[in-house]
Amino acid sequence: MGEFFDRPRLSRECRWAQRHMSDYLDGDLAWSRRRRMERHASVCPQCRRVLAMLRRMVGALHRVPPPAGGADARQIAASVRRRLGEPPPP
């Protein structure tokens, strides 16, 4: 799975940036590393683009609605309620 990180055309700084993008987006990078990421993104269009896509994707994931179909909560509760007296599986 190294193809996401280790493409030969990436510079060492690009590889560093792409390994730390999640931490950057989650606010988990120390100040000096944040600055390093921002400096790099300001001069590297490729990493800036990857970072922007990641940010957009994580934003979209936050808005994914619950899967449709299947049982609803009350149906599950009713089924579970009926089975509470069952002995545990061996």
Partner 1 sequence: VSAEAISEHELLRSARAGDQDAFGELVVIHAGRVLGALRRFGLDSSEADEVAQEVFLRAWRGLARFQERAQLSTWLYRIAFNEAQRRLARRAPPHVQLDGDRDDPVVSLPEAPHLGPEAQALDHEFQQTLERALAQLPHEWRAAVVLRDIEGLSTQEAAQVVGARQAAFKSRLHRGRMALRALLEPYLDVDEG
Contacting residues toward partner 1, per CB under 8 A: 1, 3-5, 18-19, 21-23, 26, 28, 45, 48-50, 52-67, 69-81, 83-84, 86, 88
The single-letter code of the amino acid at 4 is: F
Nearer to partner 1, 35 or 76 (CB): 76
Non-local (6+) Cβ contacts of 30 within 8 A are none
Nearer to partner 1, 26 or 90 (CB): 26
Nearer to partner 1, 39 or 49 (CB): 49
Non-local (6+) Cβ contacts of 41 within 8 A are 17, 47, 48, 51
